[in-house]
Chain A
Amino acid sequence: MGKVRLDESRHREMAAGLEVSLRRLAPFLTIACLLLLWQWISSRGIISHILVPPPADVYQAFIDSLADGTLLKHTVITLEEMLYGLLLGVGIGLAIGYAIAKAPILENILSPVIVAFQSTPIVAYAPLLVIWFGSGIASKIVTTAVIVFFPTLVNTIVGIRSVSPNLRDLMRSLKAGRWQIFRHLEAPSALPVILAGLKTSTTLAVIGAVVGEFVSQGSGLGYLVTSARNLYDTPLVVVAVLAMTAISLTLYGIVAYVEWRFLVWQRRASA
């Protein structure tokens, strides 16, 4: 009887373990299936190779562009635009967000500009930014900054406003100064929300940089896409697009890691 129960529970444990590993494996299976489907479609000649190049051609284009340095060159440029844009947009978003959270009147003053910027498609006014900031790296940095500014702003406001009023009272009763309140209460309390905003911002940053590159040609992965398209080099277009995906996922992963590393207390809480 006891043995049967033991076996049963062990069986259940194994089944649960299998379910977990299956769940972890599932995304990779999806990718593998898509690749197979892609290979099958192009090998059967259902769709022209110019429209959908077979995986082997894309791989060759990847190797070629890696060998002659074009891929790396354009990736580095896009990455550079994104990082400066993130730095600028997130920096300004944090500062203005904090100011608005502390002085609500600022929200009334600034909201027309912010809402107008946010509700107009960036693609529409990106040419304006090129006119103002030139066709060099500056206009791409500004495009990226504009697009990442908003999620940072909103999350900063929400994060600072949701600081517990009881903890504010505690800090006051401890005679904490403004800087101490910021450092020991507001910053750590708002950090989870701000990091969540940063995750959104990193994926938006790729859009910002690439839109900038589409509008003002010259260099970067966005430029690589347009120039390859003009030559009907579809495999290279796919390579450039996948490079953007890789950049976006890597940055997202870095922020997710920072979140995991610094919000230990939240991890413990959910366990």
Chain B
Amino acid sequence: MTLSLRELSVSFRDPAGGALPALGPISFEVAEQQFVCVVGPTGCGKSTLIRVLAGLLPPSSGAALCDGEAIDRPMRQFAIMFQDANLMPWRTVLDNIALPLEIAGVSRPTRYEVVRALLPQLHLESFELAYPAALSGGMEQRVALGRVLVQQPKVVLLDEPFGALDALTRENLGRLLLRLRRRYVQTIVMVTHDINEAALLADRVIVMSRGPGRLVADVSVDLPRPRRHDMIYHQAFLKLTKRIRASIDDLSA
């Protein structure tokens, strides 16, 4: 599925009744099966962008389209992952991952079978009956990732999914994401503020400016796949991240 933003903008109402511009106007396209990372300073409207694409927030003007159809409600075949793992504390790992299937009306034996097949890839096979309170931050996000994959989405929206984790856990999850993507190829839009992470994972990095968020750079990442973590020491990678970095620095200059 292709996504396109056309002169999309969002503004919120401030308590006094005025409009607070939060995003845009911004336009770009995301091609089928492309992995796009959106980077930018805090307050540039990255999360707002994800919420619009998820159909959770209507745009104030312009449009977000999916295969030409306006996104005006949560779309089928879209899955979203939040910065907070957002698990239900009263559900076990198994039932948290199975939630989307349960809501779609899949029978219990079938959904457990599907989830159990997925658990080893998430390194969660020995935790299926654990409650979220017993999990580490990285494990919680792997459960959240499982809840995305179980939907077999065509479009995955990730709102700083690894933002609250330590550096090594982030790396591991990034690798896991790439490995899983190879198996279930999807269009991915991921918001992050980590330039290295963006350049290492994505096909393309979009840089946004602060409030209201506008597109200031659109950098395609032509590093070979599969990506390996040691690529961050390569000349090509350094050149790329320098470029991204420079476009962000231009903003504050």
Contacts and interface: CB of A to CB of B under 8 A. Distances in A.
A266 B131 CA distance: 9
Interface string A229-271: 0000000000000000000000000000000000111101100
A265 B133 contact: yes
Given A184-B99, A184-B102, A188-B88, A169 B133 contact: no
- The interface size bin for chain A is 20 to 34
Contact of B100 (A166, A167, A174, A266): A174
Interface residues of B, number: 26
A174 B133 contact: no
B212 interface: no
Majority SS at the chain A contact face: helix
Contacts of B104: 174
A166 B86 contact: yes
A107 B54 CA distance: 32
A175 interface: yes
A265 B86 CA distance: 16
B89 interface: yes
A176 interface: yes
A180 interface: yes
B134 interface: yes
B90 interface: yes
A15 B13 CA distance: 62
B78 A269 contact: no
A178 to B, nearest CB: 12
B77 to A, nearest CB: 11
A171 B96 CA distance: 12
A158 B196 CA distance: 43
Contacts of B132: 265
A173 B80 contact: yes
A228 interface: no
B74 A172 contact: yes
Contact of B55 (A173, A180, A268): A173
A114 interface: no
A170 B82 contact: yes
B76 A265 contact: no
26 contacts: A164-B86, A166-B86, A169-B51, A170-B82, A170-B86, A172-B56, A173-B54, A173-B55, A173-B74, A174-B74, A174-B103, A175-B74, A176-B103, A184-B88, A184-B102, A188-B88, A188-B90, A189-B90, A191-B90, A263-B90, A265-B89, A265-B90, A265-B91, A266-B89, A269-B131, A269-B134
